[in-house]
Structure 1
Amino acid sequence: MKVWLAAMIFILCWATWLSFFTPVIDTILNSGLFVLVGIIGAIFANSTGAGGGVIFVPVFSAVGFSTEQMISTSFAIQCFGMTAGSLSWIFHYRRHHRLDPTWIAFGRFCGLSALASISGLWFSTLVQLPPPVSIHISFSLFSIALGLIILTHSRKSTAQLTNHHKQHLDIIALVIISFIGGIVTSWLSVGVGEMLVIYLMLRGYCTKLAIATGVVVSAITVWSTAPITFSADSAAHFETLLFAGPAAIIGGLLAKRIALYFSIQKLKQFFSVWIILTGTVMLGLH
């Protein structure tokens, strides 16, 4: 009953939001297909830990959005989808892994990585740190190379880490990676989640823990941009967000079920193919 009530309130709020875009029929016809974009982007983002920007940005580029519109709109949609996905993963952790020694560092990994990622993103934003000329190419090659490494790594069985000393060392590494990932995310609306998942998987942590960490940190990171993303001066395309944002919630809720459906090896292989695709798309955008 509570679910149905929440759904009705959500639909009512969405319909009220839609009424501000007139004529309504033209708005639906012009932007309705972004529902599909939102669902697909959120499913990939929340089942792999990589940001949905790699789906959103190419689509927005194809329809003629400016760079500022692409990045801002991608951030706004991820505020919907990554939040739904992160809550889904957190509930999964609380129900199934609270006493699991392979997940014992989940809270620390998420909290410290999120703080470092936000610091990197806002450092880049406040000092107006420009991306290197070859950022798309370097990030593409980075993604493709690590995707191939993980694809090879997925064929091997890996002991899952529970050693506390190693986890302390990994926390230091994750903070550094997250700070850099936050900077990359400020440029591309994608980066920190992907980098965290790659590191944790290569270190031998539970694959689902790695994905959950990437999703939660990405969600917190994109929400830290809310003062800009949802401001009156935002470059975000809110008509697109009207359809893609709520659809991303659906994709975010479906993603965990998809991730849990696959075996660990299949999930690693799926993720490696996804980040290879990420690198290829980024290369194509350049």
Structure 2
Amino acid sequence: MRFTKRRYRSPIIISVVVAVLWLLCFPFFYESFISHLYFMPFVGAIAATIANITPAAAGIVYFPILTHINMAPVTVSQFSLMIQAYGMGLGTFRWFLFNRKLFIFNVIPVSIAGGFLGEIVSIVYLPISNPELLSLIFNFIAFLFTQIVFFSLIRNSQYPSKKVELNEFNITILFLLSFVGGLLCGWIGFGIDTIFYFVLTIIFRINPAAAIVTSISLMAAMSVTGTLLNFIFRELPLDLWFSAIPGVTIAGLFLAAYIAVKIGSRNILLLFTFFLATDFFMAFWTQEILPMTPAVKKMVIYPLAFYMLVFHIKLFIDNYNNSGIVPEDFNAMG
């Protein structure tokens, strides 16, 4: 009982401090918050919950929502890194209080080094400023991730490992793929966490619960470094960040871990793939970079939609038939 109280005491203290500071700063952001950013606490709560229970950062939620209301994709990616540095930092702290054995600590420094180098390249030397291109890249990557999630769920493989041996080959793999993830973080505000999750589960056979939590901590670290780079070389959308703080705080400190334990990461990933696929279809239908007639777009979207629907039905049936089994048990790691 005492340990349980200790788990909640620190989050409650942090939330009270954040609430006081937010109210003190509110007069400086009052106009923008009331006029057009009043919905951000709700979006922030959803994004932070997803970011702290799945191997996909909050930017994967913010990007489609905010770009669809005509915010510049570059601004959204900068904001995503800012708010993830805060929200996923809180989530990392909360998971550490919940079960520190979920963290694969020895792989984090190598991955941070590779990811930070990738962020330097993408933010400082090779920034992408074309909004349409940035949006298309995001949705294409998100859809690819969706397929990887599907097949990892369908395989329902065993993941016996709880640690990664850092030999020369493994360090090289972690560094190079983290570099690619860092490039994505600088361009679209997320990516290294999802890549890292699949590296841990598919290559190293790490328990998915540990892979999810470790990827969250890595994305939090890369969001901090990405935000620092944006602060030095670009501008930061402080009004957006301020507006999302209330929802992100509640989700990061309280909602995410509770929902993950109750629902199970398998079901969460399944629902999230539906969201990603839907957003991809919408983006593909409205994009104008690739010259396509509506008939051609339908020929692409309809078969893909049928394919996704079949997979979702199969996985839901499998989950129903195995309703008592939660392979990614966040409590079971020991």
Q: CA deviation at 1:27?
A: 3.1
Q: Does 1:181 align with 2:186?
A: no
CA deviation profile, 1:58-85 (whole Å, cap 9, x unmatched): 1211222112221112222112211111
Match of 1:51 among 57, 61, 66: 57
Range with greater deviation from structure 2 (160-169 or 39-48)? 160-169
Partner of residue 144, structure 1: 146
Q: RMSD of aligned C-alpha atoms? A: 3.0
- Which whole-Å CA distance do the structure 1 matches of 2:10 and 2:94 have between them? 17
- Which whole-Å CA distance do the structure 2 matches of 1:57 and 1:164 have between them? 33
- The question of whether the paired residues in 2 share the 8 Å contact of 1:80 and 1:246 is answered with no
- Which whole-Å CA distance do the structure 2 matches of 1:193 and 1:186 have between them? 13
Higher relative contact order (CA 8 A, sep 6+): 1
- The question of whether the paired residues in 1 share the 8 Å contact of 2:52 and 2:257 is answered with yes
- The question of whether the paired residues in 1 share the 8 Å contact of 2:33 and 2:243 is answered with no
- Which whole-Å CA distance do the structure 1 matches of 2:137 and 2:11 have between them? 44
- Which whole-Å CA distance do the structure 2 matches of 1:141 and 1:6 have between them? 36
> Helix, strand or coil for the counterpart of 2:29?
coil
> Helix, strand or coil for the counterpart of 1:244?
helix
Give the counterpart letter for 2:144 in structure 1. Answer: F
Partner of residue 100, structure 1: none
Q: CA deviation at 1:228?
A: 4.4
Partner of residue 210, structure 1: 211
- The question of whether the paired residues in 2 share the 8 Å contact of 1:56 and 1:74 is answered with yes
> Helix, strand or coil for the counterpart of 1:47?
coil
Match of 1:18 among 26, 38, 49: 26
Larger Rg: 2
Q: CA deviation at 1:107?
A: 0.7
Figure out how many residues of one structure are paired with residues of the other and give that number.
Answer: 270
Provide closer, same or farther for how the CA distance between residues 19 and 180 of structure 1 changes in structure 2, counting only shifts above 3 A: same
TM-score, normalization by structure 1: 0.81
Q: Which runs of 5+ in 1 are unaligned?
A: 98-102
- Which whole-Å CA distance do the structure 1 matches of 2:209 and 2:252 have between them? 15
Q: Does 1:191 align with 2:199?
A: no
Q: CA deviation at 1:93?
A: 3.6
- Which whole-Å CA distance do the structure 1 matches of 2:144 and 2:48 have between them? 23
Provide closer, same or farther for how the CA distance between residues 11 and 153 of structure 1 changes in structure 2, counting only shifts above 3 A: same
Provide closer, same or farther for how the CA distance between residues 20 and 117 of structure 1 changes in structure 2, counting only shifts above 3 A: same
Give the counterpart letter for 1:146 in structure 2. Answer: I
Give the counterpart letter for 1:145 in structure 2. Answer: Q
> Helix, strand or coil for the counterpart of 2:117?
helix
TM-score, normalization by structure 2: 0.71
Provide closer, same or farther for how the CA distance between residues 73 and 163 of structure 1 changes in structure 2, counting only shifts above 3 A: closer
Partner of residue 240, structure 1: 240
- Which whole-Å CA distance do the structure 2 matches of 1:259 and 1:270 have between them? 8
Give the counterpart letter for 1:14 in structure 2. Answer: W
Q: Which runs of 5+ in 2 are unaligned?
A: 1-8, 288-334
- The question of whether the paired residues in 2 share the 8 Å contact of 1:147 and 1:276 is answered with no
- Which whole-Å CA distance do the structure 1 matches of 2:60 and 2:277 have between them? 9
Identity %: 19
Partner of residue 60, structure 1: 66
